[in-house]
Amino acid sequence: MPHLLIVDDSKLMRDMIAACLRPCEGLTFEHAASGLEAIERLSLQRFDLIVLDLNMPDIGGVEVVEFIRGQDKLRALPILIVTTRGDETSRAAVLAAGASRYMTKPFQPDQILAEVRGLLAGPGA
């Protein structure tokens, strides 16, 4: 049963993302409201995918990606960036840091659903 970590400083946004993924049956979710909380959870539990915002109050999304890619046990964790920042610089920086996919808000429920299904299916799917 895939276990997802949704990281965004807005509770409403976390709830919306979880609701969008409702049709993907069998998913279970945990939420983190900041980059620091995300890192704490990632250190304690195993996740199959992380949905990550970039703009957060303490540690930003890019730093969380760098942390994940720097840990042996997390290196293969798929990371879906979901952000309001649509500029190429932000996209290039976070993909260079090791994020798997990048999508901008606002998005349609079907879009994030397709991205999550694709990432959970793995690169060979």
Partner 1 sequence: MTEPVDLREFLAGFLAEADEILRGAHACLLAIEASARKGASSPRAVRDLYRALHTLKGLAGMVGVEPIVDLAHAMETVVRLADRQAGLLSTAAVDLCLQGLQAIEDRVRQLAADKTVSAAPAALLAALAAWLLFALPCNLAAGNILSLTMPYHINPGRIAGQPGSQSSRLTAMLIQAGTLAVGAAVESLCWSLEKQWLAVPILLVLAVAAFLVWKRVLGNVDAMALERRDELIATLMKVQ
Name the segment binding partner 1 (CB under 8 A); options: 36-44, 70-78, 88-96, 116-124: 88-96
Smallest gap from Cβ 45 to partner 1, in A, equals 25
Smallest gap from Cβ 49 to partner 1, in A, equals 19
DSSP characters over 75-106: TT--EEEEES---HHHHHHHHHHT-SEEEESS
Under rule CB under 8 A, which residues in 16-75 are in contact with partner 1? 16, 19-20, 22-23, 25, 55, 57, 60, 62
Binding residue for partner 1, selected from 13, 59, 74, 103, defined by CB under 8 A: 13
The runs of H, that is alpha helices, within 1-125 are 11-20, 35-44, 61-69, 88-97, 109-121
Q: What is the maximal distance between C-alpha atoms in the chain? A: 36
Cis peptide before 106 (omega within 30 of 0): yes
The site for partner 1 (CB under 8 A) is made up of 9-13, 15-16, 19-20, 22-23, 25, 55, 57, 60, 62, 83-84, 89, 93, 96-97, 105-107, 109-110, 113
